[in-house]
């Protein structure tokens, strides 16, 4: 048997990057694209192997990959998966659960409110409820347009990995000095590596100046857009990978879609496993991973400012017709 045939029977192979890619968890694997239901795949994974679980579950809003059901049924269906996630999470590990709203007959049900008690009952502790805001989306006529989703960051114990220095952002006033009398009087009061980025990851233009994280959601004109209707921006996951894991750790996405979480993990030398039951999304995830290896992945790098039209461009000017309307703006 040739090496290639052998690797095929093992359902793993080496890429040009010498990563061991597989379709099932094993200790020697480095990237796993697991096709199937998460509950089956997780049952094959050992206790405590994952340092970071980061995901955006189906929201039960009738996307092409889900069948909409009553909210209580939806939560019941997911509960066995939540239990498995807590089992496979390492004692130093983190679980980041990114959700938006479930909407029924125009009534809004923020999903994080429903998931919080479930994870709390399973023993996890909440460290942050991160607000991820973006400028674009549907325009509502019966309520204010929604422009944020949340990311619940839980840990399993008090002994968790947190590398704040890896994700600091520049201070707004780096020249600020200590003003209280004492040995530090007159010395810079901030941290030379920058300040804590806070729990609001906000879409603004000059993030470096204002020290807020700037992560646009993945819509049609975003360079990372694929066939998936609800993709993560890679950048959002990178923040969590860098702050909550170390090199070589396992990052797990139990609803991995087109593999954005896996790409973020691999970019930073972490091992990555994704579970996804639609083969077309797994194929797309593999294609993107190959593009990452060949340097061709369309990707919005951390910190790249969002395009902001100048005042001279037509799209940023008030239409002439509106100038005559009272209150037009």
Ligand X SMILES: C[S@@+](CC[C@H](N)C(=O)[O-])C[C@H]1O[C@@H](n2cnc3c(N)ncnc32)[C@H](O)[C@@H]1O
Residues lying near ligand X in the complex (CB under 6 A): 37-38, 56, 58, 65, 228, 230-232, 255-258, 260, 275-278, 281
In the bound state with ligand X, the residue whose beta carbon lies nearer, of 49 and 255, is 255
Task: Please identify, using beta-carbon distances, which residue of 168 and 284 lies nearer to ligand X.
Answer: 284
Whether the CB-CB separation of 134 and 202 falls below 8 Å is answered with no
Cβ count within 10 A of residue 153: 25
Q: How far is the CB of 259 from ligand X (least distance, A)?
A: 6
- Smallest gap from residue 32 Cβ to ligand X (A): 13
- Pick 168 or 228: Cβ nearer ligand X: 228
If 0-12 CB within 10 Å is exposed, 13-18 middle and 19+ buried, where does residue 146 land? Answer: middle
Please, what is the minimum distance in Å from the beta carbon of residue 77 to ligand X? Answer: 8
Q: Indicate if the alpha-carbon torsion angle 270, 11, 25, 301 is positive or negative.
A: positive
- Taking the C-alpha atoms of residue 25 and residue 304, their distance in angstroms, rounded to an integer, is 34
Sign of dihedral through CA atoms 251, 83, 256, 153?
Answer: negative
Report the distance separating Cα 215 and Cα 218, nearest Å.
Answer: 9
- As measured in angstroms, the least distance from the Cβ of 121 to ligand X is 21
- Minimum Å gap between C-beta 300 and ligand X is 13
Name the packing angle between helices 111-121 and 71-88 (round to 10°): 40
* 173 touches 195 (CB < 8 A): no
**CB-nearer residue toward ligand X: 13 or 148:** 148
Closest separation in Å from C-beta 288 to ligand X: 9
Residue sitting closest to ligand X (CB): 257
Give counts: helices (H), strands (E), the chain.
Answer: 8, 12
Q: Which is nearer to ligand X, 198 or 290 (CB)?
A: 290
For 311, the token pair is 């005042």
Looking at the Cβ atoms of 211 and 284, the one nearer to ligand X is: 284
């Amino acid at each position: 048997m040739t090496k290639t045939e052998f690797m095929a029977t093992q359902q793993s192979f080496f890429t040009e990057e010498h990563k061991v890619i597989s379709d099932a968890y094993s200790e020697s694997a480095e990237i796993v694209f697991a096709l199937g239901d998460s509950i089956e795949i997780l049952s094959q994974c050992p206790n405590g192997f994952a340092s970071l679980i980061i995901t955006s579950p189906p929201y039960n809003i009738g996307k092409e990959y889900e069948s909409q059901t009553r909210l209580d049924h939806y939560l019941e269906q997911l509960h066995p998966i939540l239990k498995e996630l807590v089992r496979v999470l390492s004692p130093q590990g983190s679980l980041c659960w990114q959700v938006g709203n479930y909407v029924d007959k125009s009534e809004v049900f923020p999903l994080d409110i429903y998931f919080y008690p479930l994870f709390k009952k399973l023993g996890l502790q909440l460290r942050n409820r991160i607000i991820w805001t973006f400028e674009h989306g549907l325009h509502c006529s019966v309520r204010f347009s929604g422009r944020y989703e949340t990311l619940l960051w839980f840990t399993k114990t008090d002994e968790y990995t947190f590398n704040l220095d890896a994700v600091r952002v520049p201070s707004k006033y780096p020249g600020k000095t200590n003003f209280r009398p004492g040995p530090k009087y007159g010395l810079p009061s901030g941290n030379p590596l920058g300040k804590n980025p806070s729990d609001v990851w906000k879409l603004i233009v000059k993030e470096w100046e204002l020290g807020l994280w700037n992560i646009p959601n993945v819509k049609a004109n975003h360079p990372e857009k694929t066939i998936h209707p609800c993709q993560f921006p890679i950048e959002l996951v990178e923040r969590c990978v860098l702050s909550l894991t170390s090199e070589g750790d396992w990052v797990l996405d139990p609803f991995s879609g087109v593999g954005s979480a896996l790409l973020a993990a691999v970019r930073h030398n972490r091992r990555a496993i994704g579970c996804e039951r639609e083969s077309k999304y797994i194929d797309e995830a593999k294609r993107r991973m190959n593009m990452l290896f060949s340097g061709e992945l369309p990707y919005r790098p951390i910190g790249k400012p969002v395009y902001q039209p100048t005042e001279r461009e037509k799209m940023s000017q008030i239409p002439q017709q509106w100038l005559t309307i009272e209150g037009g703006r």
